[in-house]
Structure 1
Amino acid sequence: MRSRILALAGAVLLLAGCTEVKDAVAGPDPEPTASAFVEALAAQDLSGAPVADPEAAERERAEVVDGMGGVTPRVGLLDLDQSGDTATATLQWSWPLVGSGAGGEWSYESPLRLEREGDGWVAVWAPSVVEPSLVEGEALDLTTLTPRRGDIVGARGLAVVTQRPVNRIGIDKTLVGAGRAVSDARALAEAVGIDAAGYAKRVRAAGDAAFVEAIVMRTEDVVTPISMALARIKGARRIAAEIPLAPSRDFAAPILGSVGQVTAEMVEEAPDTYRPGDVAGLSGLQGRYDDQLRGTPGASVDVLPAEGSDGEVREVFRAEPEKGSTLRISLDVDLQAEAEAVLRRTGPASALVAIDPGTGAVLAAANGPGAGGTNLATYGQAAPGSTFKTVSSLALLRAGLDPTSSVQCPATTVVDGKTFGNYSDYPTGATGRITLRQAVANSCNTAFITSRAKVEGTGLYDAAASLGFGIDHDLGFPAYFGQVPQPETETEAAAALIGQGRVLASPMVMATVVASVQAGETVVPWLVKGYREAPPEGAKPLTGAEASALRSMLRAVVTEGSGRGLLDVPGPELIAKTGTAEFERDGTVLTHAWMVAAGSDLAVAVYVDEGESGSRTAGPLLEAFLRAARR
Structure 2
Amino acid sequence: MRLDRSARRAPAILLTAMMLGAGVAACGSDGAGGALDDFLDAWHDRKLSEVDFVDSAGKPIEAAAVEAELTELAGGMPLETLRMTRAGDIRETGDDAVGAVKVGWTLAAAGPWSYESAVRLTARGEGGWKVIWEPAIVQKELVAGDKLTLRRVQADRAAILGAGGRPIVEARPVVVVTVDPARFTATEELAAALKTIGVQIDPGDVATAAGPVEVVTLRRADFSKVEKALRRLRGVTLTEQKRELAPSRMFARALLGTVDPVTADDLTANPGTLAAGDDAGHGGLQQRYDSRLRGAPALAVVIERDGRDEPAELHHTEPVGGRPVRTTIDLPTQQAADRATAAEPRPSSLVAVRISDSAVLAVSNGPDGGGDNVALTGQVPPGSTFKMVSALGLLQKRAVNPNTPVDCPKTKEAGGQVFKNAHDMALGEVPFHVDFAQSCNTAFVGLAPKLGAAGLQSAATAVGLGGQWDLGVKAFSGKVSAAGDPAELAQAAFGQGQTAVSPIAMAGATAAVARGRFVQPRLVLDPAPAQPAADGATLDKDAAAGLKRLMREVVTSGTGRALNNVKGGPVFGKTGSAEFDDASTETHAWFVGWQGDVAFAVLVQKGGAGAETAVPVVRRFLTGLNG
TM-score (norm 2): 0.83
Larger CA deviation: 295-304 vs 112-121: 112-121
Helix, strand or coil at the partner of 1:99: helix
- Among candidates 138, 158, 173, match of residue 166 of structure 2: 158
CA distance in 2, matches of 1:355, 1:555: 19
Counterpart-to-counterpart distance in 1, 2:19 and 2:606? 63
Partner of 2:589: 593
Q: 1:167 to 1:161 in 2, by over 3 A?
A: same
1-side partners of 2:415 and 2:565: how far apart?
43
Q: Counterparts of 1:76 and 1:189 in 2: how far apart (Å)?
A: 64
> 2: distance between equivalents of 1:376 and 1:520?
27
1:24 corresponds to: none
1: CA distance, partners of 2:460 / 2:289: 31
Report whether the alignment pairs 1:483 with 2:479.
yes
Q: Which of 53, 63, 76 is residue 61 of structure 2 equivalent to?
A: 53
Match of 2:151 in 1: 143
Residue in 2 that maps onto 1:424 = 423
1:544-577 CA-partner distances (Å, limit 9, x unpaired): 2222111111111111212222222222322111
Task: Rate the CA distance shift 1:458–1:36 in 2: closer, same or farther, 3 A.
Answer: same
SS where residue 165 of structure 1 aligns?
Answer: strand
1:94 is matched with which residue? 104
Any conservation in 2 of the 1:280–1:287 contact (CA below 8 Å)?
A: yes
1:23-62 equivalent positions in 2, closer than 5 A: 29-39=31-41, 48-51=51-54, 52-54=60-62, 55-62=64-71
Correspondences of 1:288-307 after superposition (within 5 Å): 288-306=288-306
Structure 1 Cα separation of the partners of residues 445 and 236 of structure 2: 72
Q: Is the 8 A contact 2:519 2:534 kept in 1?
A: no
Question: Do the aligned partners of 1:98 and 1:275 also contact (CA within 8 Å) in 2?
Answer: no
SS at match of 1:505: coil
* Aligned alpha-carbon RMSD (Å): 3.4
Q: Distance in 2 between matches of 1:213 and 1:69?
A: 31
Corresponding residue number in structure 1 for 2:248: 248
Query: Do the aligned residues in 2 keep the contact of 1:154 with 1:333 (CA within 8 Å)?
Result: yes
Counterparts of 1:372 and 1:281, CA distance in 2 = 15
- Report the AA paired with residue 72 of structure 1: T
Aligned counterpart in structure 2 of residue 542 of structure 1, from 536, 539, 553: 539
2:23 partner amino acid: L
Tell me how far apart the structure 2 counterparts of residues 186 and 478 of structure 1 sit (CA, whole Å): 45
Gap change, CA 1:322 and 1:189, over 3 Å in 2:
farther
Quick one: distance in 2 between partners of 1:53 and 1:233? 58
Aligned match for 1:123, one of 114, 123, 131? 131
Distance 1:408 1:166 in 2: 62
Instruction: Give, in whole Å, the separation in 1 of the partners of 2:87 and 2:348.
Output: 67
Q: Pick from 318, 321, 324: which aligns with 2:319?
A: 321
Q: Give per-residue Cα distances to partners, 1:425-459, cap 9 Å, x unaligned.
A: 85x7xx22221222222222222222223213410
Question: Which residue among 331, 336, 341 is the counterpart of 2:334?
Answer: 336
Mapped to 2, the partners of 1:469 and 1:72 lie a distance apart of 50
Note if contact 1:482-1:506 (Cα within 8 Å) is conserved in structure 2: yes
Between the aligned partners of 1:269 and 1:471, the Cα distance in structure 2 is 32
Q: CA 1:190 to 1:77, structure 2 compared with 1: closer, same or farther past 3 Å?
A: farther
Structure 1 CA distance for aligned equivalents of residues 336 and 123 of structure 2 = 81
Residue 527 (structure 1) shift: 1.1
- Name which of structure 1's ranges 243-252 and 34-43 shifts more when overlaid on structure 2: 34-43
The answer to whether the 8 Å contact 1:40/1:49 transfers is: no
- Summarize the Cα distance change of 1:591–1:58 in structure 2 as closer, same or farther, 3 Å threshold: closer
Q: Distance in 1 between matches of 2:435 and 2:567?
A: 26
Asked if structure 1 preserves the Cα contact closer than 8 Å seen for 2:514 and 2:594, the reply is: yes
Q: Offset of 1:351 from its aligned partner?
A: 0.8
What are the superposed Cα offsets for residues 477-525 of structure 1, whole Å, 9 maximum, x if unpaired?
2222222222233222222221122222211122122211211111321
Aligned runs of 1:203-222 on 2, under 5 Å? 217-222=218-223
Equivalent residue number for residue 77 of structure 1: 86
**Per-residue deviation, 1:460:** 1.2
- For residues 362 and 231 of structure 1, do their structure 2 counterparts lie closer, same or farther at Cα, with a shift above 3 Å needed? same
Deviation, structure 1 residue 140? 0.7
3-state SS of 2:355 partner: coil
2-side partners of 1:71 and 1:186: how far apart?
Answer: 48
Q: 1:131 to 1:199 in 2, by over 3 A?
A: farther
Q: Which amino acid aligns with 2:304?
A: L
Q: Does 1:584 align with 2:570?
A: no
State the distance in 1 between where 2:185 and 2:154 align.
30
* Count of residue pairs the alignment pairs up: 585
Indicate the residue corresponding to 1:238 in structure 2: 239
What do the CA deviations read for 1:351-377 (whole angstroms, capped 9, x no partner)?
111111111111111112389711211
The alignment partner of 1:456 has SS state of: helix
Measured after TM superposition, the shift of residue 623 of structure 1 is: 0.8
Deviations 1:139-194 (A, max 9, x none): 110123322223211112221223333456669xxxxxxxxx87258989996958
Give the drift of 1:234: 7.7
What's the CA shift for 1:115? 3.8
Find out whether 1:447 has 2:443 as its counterpart. yes
Residue 559 of structure 1 is matched in structure 2 by 556
Q: 1:257 to 1:442 in 2, by over 3 A?
A: same
Q: How far apart in 2 are the matches of 1:396 and 1:239?
A: 62
**CA distance in 1 between partners of 2:231 and 2:129 (Å):** 64
8 Å CA contact 2:384, 2:576 repeated in 1: yes
Residue 13 of structure 1 corresponds to which residue in structure 2?
Answer: 23
Structure 1 contact 595–614 (Cα < 8 Å) conserved: yes
Alignment partner, residue 499 of structure 1: 495
Name the CA distance, whole Å, in 2 between partners of 1:189 and 1:314.
51
Return closer, same or farther for 1:39/1:278 CA change in 2, 3 Å cut-off. Answer: farther
Q: Equivalent residue for 1:609?
A: 605
